[in-house]
Amino acid sequence: MELHHSKHHAAYVANLNKAISSPTSANTQSLIHFNGGGHINHSIFWNNLTPASSPEAAKSAAPTLMQAIEKKFGSFEDFQAKFGAMLLGIQGSGWGWLVLKQGAELDIVTTRDQDIITDGATALIGVDMWEHAYYLQYLNGKAAYVENIWNIINWKYAETRLKGDVQGEFKELKAML
Amino acid sequence: MSVATSARSMLVRASRASSIRSLGSLTAVRSKYTLPDLPYDYGALEPHISGQIMEVHYTKHHQTYVNGINDAQEKFAAASTPAEKVALTSLIKFHGGGHVNHSLFWENLSPANKDGGDPPSGALATAINDSWGSLDNFKGKMNTALAGIQGSGWGWLVKDNTTGKLSIITMPNQDPVNTTQFTPLVGIDAWEHAYYLQYKNVKADYFKAIWNVINWKTAEKRFS
């Protein structure tokens, strides 16, 4: 957590600011896209997590979302299994997301590298599948990382995002990506 | 055709089909991919690449690519429709690419007290000087390319098969070098698993250190 936040996320922020303030190199747009995406994705991710003992980690903190999950995936366990399989199927660096698509339907999708959720969809829960997110603790055992992260998901935050209280976040930055 | 004749010819066809099938399975067994032997011990590249990194990288990551390509190949052989086969191509490219890339990579390395780090000589040295002025300048350019990879991937020194010219390219994830166009000479793994246990987020230090264990003799062989 310390390295991930104080080094990796900090590097995305520093490199984003650098690319914006001196947009001279031929690949400035690519640098803004990559580092801006890294900043947005990690900002959502930290809020997606909470200590396992906190009330926000209980699924009961997200009654509306739970209902929507059951409606879309049949059961919470089916959703978990499907999401887990998708996370483990990522070929390279990337993220897995539970999103609310336009039209108010849930879906699970993956994005590569630091690409963000777009097309009017709202990211509810993001899971970082870059190796730096788990390697020091789990080495190549990413299945255990995926299994354990369920214990620290902030369901209350996901419920808030579902209810649309996050429209407009990073609006200016997203427009630059 | 009488019923008996027709039944006999069906039997013949069936037995021919079954012998073709068993030949097919023999071929499948023979073409199973396996981990290549490492030409040095896990700890032999220290302090530049730790023994723990080498062991996990070789016995876990590379092994997973080997298992993945074998599994995908088996499913591909068993798939009965083109659509099923097409659906498997991404897995074949990823795991097959992972196997190809790592197999080339292990041969690119050698302990610093053996061939590791000894500069190239002969035609390859000349070609590097022609393209970049000096070996150090080339290393700097290659390290910049490696540091610029956005996500997982590889950096390669390659020779163009048509012009013979050297260049530096990067490939995302486990995409292998297009060997119709290029001959890969030196590959450097820029996936986080290649350095994270030792270098953490400071990947620039890994890219600097790895030149101490690059086996230029392998690159010379591939070049010629």
* Interface contact flag, A132 B192, Cβ < 8 Å: yes
Hey, is the C-beta of A85 within 8 angstroms of any chain B C-beta? no
Strand pairing category for A122-128 and B166-172? unpaired
Tell whether B1 is covered by a domain: no
| Nearest CB neighbour to B173, from listed A3, A91, A131 | A91
| Mean local confidence (pLDDT), B138-144 | 98
The number of CA neighbours under 13 Å toward the Cβ of B15 is: 5
pLDDT of B4 strictly over 80: no
| Nearest CB neighbour to B196, from listed A91, A92, A135 | A135
pLDDT value for A23: 77
Cα torsion for B202, B204, B206, B211, to the nearest 10°? -170
Confidence band (pLDDT; 50, 70, 90) for B101? very high
Hey, is the C-beta of B141 within 8 angstroms of any chain A C-beta? no
pLDDT value for B11: 39
Neighbours of A95 (CB within 10 A): 27
Rounded to whole angstroms, what are the CA distances from A42 to A12, A65, A159, B195? 9, 22, 18, 22
- A39 annotated ligand-binding residue: no
pLDDT value for A22: 86
Which are the contacts of B52, defined by CB distance < 8 A and separation ≥ 6?
B42, B197, B198
- ipTM value: 0.95
> What is the C-alpha separation between A52 and A103, in angstroms, rounded?
32
Hey, is the C-beta of B174 within 8 angstroms of any chain A C-beta? yes
Nearest to B173 by CA among B100, B106, B222: B100
Confidence band (pLDDT; 50, 70, 90) for B209? very high
Rounded to whole angstroms, what are the CA distances from B113 to A155, A166, B73, B213, B214? 54, 57, 40, 9, 11
pLDDT value for B26: 44
Can you give the residue ranges of every domain in chain A?
Answer: 2-176
CA-based nearest distance B94→chain A, Å: 7
Confidence band (pLDDT; 50, 70, 90) for A80? very high
Q: Which residue of B has its CA nearest to A27?
A: B148
Instruction: Give the total number of structural domains in chain B.
Output: 1
Nearest to A156 by CA among A41, A43, A47, A5: A47
Mean pLDDT of chain B: 90
Hey, is the C-beta of B82 within 8 angstroms of any chain A C-beta? no
pLDDT tens-digit profile of A86-125? 999 999 999 999 999 988 899 999 999 999 999 889 999 9
Please list every residue in chain A whose beta carbon sits closer than 8 Å to the beta carbon of residue B200: 3, 7, 136
- A128 annotated ligand-binding residue: yes
Hey, is the C-beta of B59 within 8 angstroms of any chain A C-beta? no
| Mean local confidence (pLDDT), B83-110 | 97
* Interface contact flag, B90 A91, Cβ < 8 Å: yes
Any idea which fold A2-176 has? minor pseudopilin epsh fold (3.55.40)
pLDDT tens-digit profile of A30-46? 999 999 999 999 999 99
Least confident of A117-121, B60-64, B116-120: A117-121
pLDDT value for B16: 40
* Angle B9-B10-B16 from CA coordinates, rounded to 5°: 90
Instruction: Provide the CATH number for the domain around residue B159.
Output: 3.55.40.20
Per the listing, tokens 């030792």 go with B198
Would you give the distance in Å from CA A137 to the centre of its chain?
20
* Interface contact flag, A135 B64, Cβ < 8 Å: no
- A42 annotated ligand-binding residue: yes
CA-based nearest distance B106→chain A, Å: 19
* Interface contact flag, B56 A136, Cβ < 8 Å: no
Nearest to B171 by CA among B144, B189, B192: B189
Domain encompassing residue B102? 46-224
Hey, is the C-beta of A113 within 8 angstroms of any chain B C-beta? yes
Tell whether B80 is covered by a domain: yes
| Helix or strand holding residue A135 (H, E) | helix A135-138
Nearest to A91 by CA among A65, A117, A118, A129: A129
pLDDT value for B1: 36
> What is the C-alpha separation between A92 and B63, in angstroms, rounded?
16
> What is the C-alpha separation between A153 and A161, in angstroms, rounded?
13
pLDDT of B12 strictly over 70: no
Tell whether B12 is covered by a domain: no
User: What proportion of chain B, given as a percentage, has pLDDT over 90?
Assistant: 86
* Interface contact flag, A7 B201, Cβ < 8 Å: yes
Confidence band (pLDDT; 50, 70, 90) for A168? confident
